[in-house]
Amino acid sequence: MKRALAAMLLLAACSKGDVIPGPRATPATGLEAAAIEAGVIPDPASVDITGLYAHDTDRVCIVPSAKAYRIGVLVDYGDNVTCASSGTVTRSGETLDVDIPAAPGCSFEARFEGDRLVFPAQVPEACARLCQRRASLAALKVERLSESASEASTLRDGKGQLLCDGS
């Protein structure tokens, strides 16, 4: 048993950190379940998704609204290589169903991993209408900066429009 556990830990240490697995349809098992139970990592199914998330110049805000959560996304690489829009997000465990009505057909499933949001590697073609030049929402990964709804609601796009204002 100890050898099997040591082998699993050794394999986990050798795996690539940037590999993005697909959405998980089953609850955590094995080492992940034990880590959640011990409090080493948060259980994504019980953590509120409200907050401000970022990675470099990419930003995502999520705030609660009457029927679902409101989401705002800003990808900004400078020189007018940007994406920005707002929409709604509903949650089922670790799966987030994102819908951006400004670009009809721009709906996709993202993953919530406790303190990180991961967009799919391929988003619907309709999402390109939200972006300028070579920017894309595909494979967006952001880490939580704040759990504050009031802080998240202040995120603005490049034109100064609030992305998570609740309207």
Q: For residue 78, what are its two tokens?
A: 């400078």
Phi, psi of 75 (to 5 degrees): -115, 120
Widest pairwise Cα distance in the chain: 59
pTM metric for this prediction: 0.76
Going residue by residue through the chain, which has 167 residues, state the pLDDT in tens, using 9 for 90 and above.
444 444 444 444 444 443 334 344 456 678 878 877 887 776 767 789 999 999 999 999 999 998 899 999 999 998 989 999 999 999 998 999 999 999 999 999 999 988 999 999 999 999 999 999 999 999 999 999 999 999 999 999 989 999 998 65
Query: Per 3-state DSSP, what percentage of the chain is helix, strand, and coil (rounded to 5)?
Result: 20, 30, 45
